Amino acid sequence: MLHKLGHHWNVRTRREFFTQAGSGLAGLALGSMLAKDGMAAPAKSSDPMEAKKPHHAAKAKSVIWLFMEGGPSHVDLFDPKPALEKLNGQPMPESFGRPITAMGTANNTLMASKRKWAQHGQSGLWVSDWYPHIAKHTDELAVIRSCKADGLNHVGSVCQMNTGDILAGRPSMGAWVTYGLGTANKNLPTFVILLDDREPVGGSKNWSSGFLPATFQGTQFRTGDTPILHLKNPAGVSSARQRSKLDFLKELNENWGKDKADDTELDARVRAYELAYQMQSSAPEAIELTKESEATRKLYGLDDEATEAFGRNCLMARRLVERGVRFVELYCGSGSGWDAHNNIEGNHGKWCKVSDKPIAGLLTDLKSRGMLEDTLVVWGGEFGRTPFNEKGDGRDHNPWGFTIWMAGAGVKGGQTIGTTDEIGLRGVENPYHVHDIHASILHALGLDHERVTYLHNGRAERPTIVAGQLIKELFA
């Protein structure tokens, strides 16, 4: 038996020794090659949230994702279709194909938009009268009209827009960003979720860390005047006493976890306690919207009951990215609010009023502060809506061709990218999948989606699974 430094190698012959040693050298060589390709599992650090270098020069420091949950109708907002006017009330021509629809409406008649359309800005981009305030920012928007996804229902489609897959279990985009770049601040979460009055379909899986360590998951803020509870110590508990309690709790948890290196939930809990302590000094100032001027509050619509809730979240998002939060996702219409299977006029009329002024206020505010240059703003839902009617005055789900737009952080504004067919059913020119959208968001942050990898079950997983390409037209 061979010995080294008091440890036993369980080999009995010279042949076994060299076989095992050779395997180890081969493993080192493989690891070296994988590292050169950006595929090796990251070296363990004492702090997984430590800031990391991007793969290339980043155009964006932060992302604000405005998620219109339920499926806003592109043919009523950003993608006008004169052909629908001519074909209104008629069966869809066979030349457009017959999709498998969520509610079995493929044989229903076509329905024209009732909106009034106009071109705006120097670019002349088309926007309907449902979004008059956002229309003033068309020269900053890159409108991708040819988006496509894989799911027909809300649960799978919201999940895919967040994680890349219609099945739950993969990390969300915010988690991948946090994993790839670490934190840019020590006193606030890196990935924050802002909801309105309900949770989105699928709940917290939409901001989960999936198979990544749990510390990379999103942090949900509450709605209303107290988005973060328990920021103040209980009566009679000094800051020094609170610090001592947390240090002792950390020691107990570390002792418990010495033989549980793979328990990322425990590590995440320890780090959450520490972050909570740091937030007690920084978060109250970050979320105190009353410190904003009256003009700023009005800009976001905080003086109007219809826009106050979403406007508050938009203003909160600006304050958070201003303080180093990398990824903020805001839901408008949580619980499929935009899901207009009937009465699209009433449904979209409501949610457009809720979101129009706050989003325009956000763009105005970011630009005036010089923050739009390094903040990527993304607008869209999990899919669009069909050109044919449902229940006479509504529209069905449409994952085959829909619109999202981006602004800021090097995005070339005042342009449309891709097209849908003449009735807005399918993307036909330069169709872009959800994976392409994700790859482009990561690119803006300085990350190559093919090099952001995590070894899971023997496979180097990445945000865009095995697909995705950069939407090159986006960036100037």
- Residues 257 and 327 grouped into a single domain: no
Per-residue CA distances from 73 to 78, 198, 381, 390, 441 (Å):
8, 21, 9, 13, 23
- Residues 123 and 152 grouped into a single domain: yes
Q: Give the range among 12-26, 115-129, 294-308, 372-386 with minimum mean pLDDT.
A: 12-26
pLDDT above 70 (res 257): no
How long is the chain? 476
- Residues 160 and 218 grouped into a single domain: yes
pLDDT above 80 (res 349): yes
Count up the domains in the chain and report the number.
3
- Residues 221 and 80 grouped into a single domain: yes
Per-residue CA distances from 434 to 152, 202, 205 (Å):
14, 18, 17
Compute CA 35 distance to the chain's CA centroid, rounded to the nearest angstrom.
28
- Residues 159 and 207 grouped into a single domain: yes
- Backbone angle region of 62, left / alpha / beta, with phi > 0 → left and psi within -120 to 50 → alpha: beta
Domain housing 279:
229-285
Whole-number Å distance between alpha carbons of 246 and 272: 11
Strand runs labelled E in 272-401:
327-332, 375-380, 384-390, 394-398
- Residues 32 and 67 grouped into a single domain: no
Give the end of a domain, one of 261, 285, 309.
285
- Residues 10 and 152 grouped into a single domain: no
Whole-number Å distance between alpha carbons of 473 and 411: 9
Whole-number Å distance between alpha carbons of 150 and 154: 11
Output the average pLDDT for the chain: 87
- How confident is the model over 87-129, as pLDDT tens digits? 999 999 999 999 999 999 999 999 999 999 999 999 999 999 9
- What global pTM score does this model have? 0.84
In a domain, 52, yes or no: no
- Residues 255 and 349 grouped into a single domain: no
- Residues 368 and 431 grouped into a single domain: yes
Closest CA to 383 of 227, 190, 155, 187: 155
| 375 CB-contact burial (10 Å; exposed 0-12 / middle 13-18 / buried 19+) | buried
Q: Is 219 in a helix, a strand, or coil?
A: strand
- What b/e string do you get for 441-462 counting C-beta neighbours within 10 Å, with b at 16 or more? bbbbbbbbbbebbbeeeeebbb
